[in-house]
Structure 1
Amino acid sequence: MDKNFTAVDVIRAKRDGERLSNEQIAWVVDAYTREVVAEEQMAALAMAIFLRGMDAAEIAAWTGAMIDSGSRLSLDVSRPTVDKHSTGGVGDKITLPLAPLVATCGAAVPQLSGRGLGHTGGTLDKLESIPGWRAALSTEEITRQLREVGAVVCAATDGLAPADRKLYALRDVTGTVESVPLIASSIMSKKIAEGSAGLVLDVKTGSGAFMKTPERARELAHTLVRIGAAHGVATTAVLTEMGTPLGRAVGNAVEVAEAVEVLKGGGPADVVELTLVLAREMLTLARLSDVDPAAVLASGAAYETWCRMIAAQGGDPDAPLPKPAWVHVVEAPRDGVLSRLDAYAVGVAAWRLGAGRARKEDAVHPAAGVVLHAKPGDTVSAGAPLLELHTDTPDAIPAALDSLHAAIEIGEPAPDRPLVLDTIRS
């Protein structure tokens, strides 16, 4: 690695709007990973990137440098490999039915997932509400489970993109999380390092998403797809609506229960719809588009794969899920049509009840969450239940109710907004 660069020169170049060379990018990411570049210097560079942006070539080079900071998984399996990533939402339990469904259709799904932070839930937190289930697997265990079951949902191994872990923590405390180049390279460095041949991205927009407007979500989606193409990974991005929570459960154990309903042939229509949309895109990338995921889901075979996937990671798929110590019912204040139920507010309420964490080291409560008795467009009667707040700490209920104060509107029916807004393919 060329030692002629200095952190200050790289910072100044981006501060002044210059394009960083591939060599500068490779050096600064490697030096930061090795702690040669100080935290305050990388913070300054992240802010310069936030303000000045990066072009497509810079973003691809930055992603490649973060991949090269660690190891790559070599997935020695006979099936075509394809993965999915969501940019985060409220009630977004789609990975839970999606991974076993796509595996049942013939692909291998190495779903390396994360934990929740703030108002968005984490897939690993949800699954850890299942007694005995474990998130940490070795590379050998991941490969064996892909061969034997076809799907694995687990934590990323320590060797994957360590530069991203450091940089994400820094961005979180320096006001640079929302930078599209840094978001996109963070997502794609981990996903490309997983070794999947195909990747489908669920890019969300709306109050419950990190990208609040369709324009920003579309910009991120195009950036992600371009990075995938630059690194030889077939990539598709699906833009989806996140102004209202997905499904009727927001939290941990309650979302697992809803995912199991879907795998058994039931569940809310929006969860089923998005599961099938993403499944079809994944199967197309895996060259298995002749398989109908709707028929597979209806057959119950995907539920059998779910049970095998959970058991392979030490969980008991038949064990009762945790129940909350306290349930508080929010009632409809008057007759009418529920015209709005804000996703962000519901996510914050679930977080305050104990379903999420404010800091990475915080524990989550498996039974905490929000259950929706009505969704926008439903007719409600005064005094009828709208929401159930589940918690083990009753002192958290007032704060959760406060977050919901302006989230619920009863009035005229709101115009229908489609769940899937667009699809962007490489």
Structure 2
Amino acid sequence: MTPQELVEAFQGHEQWLRNRGQGRRANLRHKDLSGASLTGIDLREALLSGCDFRRANLRRANFSRADLFAANLSRADLTESRLIEADLRGAELAQATLHNANLQGADLRGGSLITGGGETIVFEPCDLSGSDLDKAMIKRANMKGANLRGARLTGANVAYSLLRGADLSGVVADGGSLARCDLRGADLRGASLKEVSLVGADLSGAVIEGCTFDGANMTGACIEGLDFSTASIAGATLNLSRDTLPRDVRTALNHHMHWVRSQGSEGERATLTEVDLSHIDLRGCELSGASLRSCNLTGADLSGASLVMADLSGARLVGANMEGAMMDGVNLTDADLAEANLRECKLSAVDLKDSQGRTIGRKWPANLSGANLSDADASGADLTMANLIEARLSGFRAEGATLVGTILDEQLIA
């Protein structure tokens, strides 16, 4: 097209947008507009399938509900553009700049086209690899199988979008929202999702090796079966159900419950050493007498659980929630309880009994010697006779706690 023909097409389209009975809808299918400067152009509902917009200046352009099927927008500058409900199936957007763009409801799936000769051409899902989508609005978009490898999505809102099977490896989406997204089978290897909202998202079958979820909110997310051992989840809000644990660990916990309830006549005492139970939901769980030495219980929810006489020596319980837990006689020697919630927790001594169940006049105190209680909160807890020799107590709070006979190694508790 000559520049004059292009201008006439744009003018006719503007008239058509104002009054469908006048002007003419722009039809620029398969036209070469690479490198064109079209800042602020209004091409809502235009027919642009197969159009070549490579390296074009499309800042603040409006492509809402436009047909951009299989269009080439690679390296184009689409800063602050509007692509609301646009048909971007099979479009090429690699290394495009979409900073603060609006792609709400856009369709970025793959597609196919039947030529006049009957040949079917299949287009891969939209390629957004390496693109800049910082602060973009992409709610309710269909990006099934899309390639977003290495894209920037910092602060972007991608909530309620379909990203099943999408390639998000190496994506940087810190501070954004993927709430309620369908991420089943997505590739998140090496992605940075710091402070991201994943509330209610479905991550079933996703690949998360090397992914950073630090500070992410994963409340209500479907994360069953995911292996977080190679991912970073520091400060993340999530609780894994026991169903996410390996079968042998689940079996050991179930047998232990029967062992406790039958007073040892059924089941078997759980002996788990150095097992990763981080962020596990064990609220109200019966773990009295269990051996959990050196287990990783970072961020675990043990509120209301029974851990009487349990062995948690050397365990990592950073940020764990043990509010209201029954932990009389527990062994927490050298355990890391930094920033743990021990409010209203019972950490007093247990009356020892003989084989007939009769008390023998001796007590078994809770042992927290050498434990790290830095910034932990034990307000209202019962620490009667507890051993805190050489425990680290910087920032430890114990307002209203019972400290009768507590051994403090001459340290003061704030």
TM-score, normalising length: structure 1: 0.26
Structure that is richer in helix per residue? 1
Larger C-alpha radius of gyration, 1 or 2?
Answer: 2
Higher relative contact order by CA 8 Å / sep ≥ 6: 1 or 2?
1
TM-score, normalising length: structure 2: 0.27
